[in-house]
Amino acid sequence: MIKESHHHSPIAETTRDAFGLILNGFNFEVSGQEHLDFLRDRAKNNAIFAFFPHTGHLDSIAVRAAVPKDLRSTLMYPAAADYWYDGKVGKIRSKFSSLFVQNFPINRGRSGQSSILEGLDQAEMYLDGGYSLVVSPEGTRSNLPLEERILHTGVAELALKTGKPIIPVKLYGLEGVMPKGKIVPEFKRNGEKRDVRVCFKKALSIDWSNVPLSHSLARKQITRLLNNIFLEP
């Protein structure tokens, strides 16, 4: 069971709201918030936010800012342990990133299958504890064209294990803002503010108990469905 943390204290959340104002440097728009209304139901108050594409560190900040303020305090972000937590530099990164979003370390497959399963178990604990997870199905940032990107099946696995719905989140306009290798966002393009939009899609409720598919096939089918949603205009 995950206990309530000082990381989601009113002070911490207010600090994140303040740092999130960095998005005012763009023409920032949000659509589809009506698809989050069910999260205010105490019986269905958490989900898995799966965002795409993942091109830079501002992606997770944009998702948080797009979520209505009263729903932000339950958001948790799995973060690659090897980048955000390992060594002195990683610890500095994690401290700094916590000013913007609240994350926790998770292994992303470089340490073997057992580490991946351990990471999924930890993510499942947060979901069972009432938190919503904000996850990139890609697992890492990429500069590839959208149709060439590969989604991993971890999001589908979590949904199958916990029964939590998946909320697809499509990001627009962030591709050139802060890609790999850049540490300062580019707010303008050709002298004009960039247009950035976060679009929440209708939640996918996962109930495969009556579907004649193996667990493995169900996981792959959910991932394909997510991919199709993400590639819609």
pLDDT at position 115 = 56
DSSP states of 138-190: T-S---S-GGG----SHHHHHHHHH---EEEEEEES-TTTS-TT--S---EET
pLDDT at position 5 = 55
pLDDT at position 1 = 44
| pTM of structure | 0.89
Closest CA to 172 of 30, 23, 13, 14: 30
Residues 6+ apart with CB under 8 A from 71: 36, 39, 40, 132
Q: Mean pLDDT in each 10-residue stretch from start to end of the chain (233 residues)?
A: 60 93 97 97 90 94 97 90 74 82 77 64 92 94 94 94 96 88 87 97 82 82 96 92
- Are residues 50 and 167 in contact, defined by beta-carbon separation less than 8 angstroms? yes
pLDDT at position 33 = 98
Bridging pattern class, strands 75-80 and 103-106? parallel
CATH topology assigned to domain 6-230: Glycerol-3-phosphate (1)-acyltransferase (3.40.1130)
Domain ranges of the chain: 6-230
pLDDT at position 131 = 95
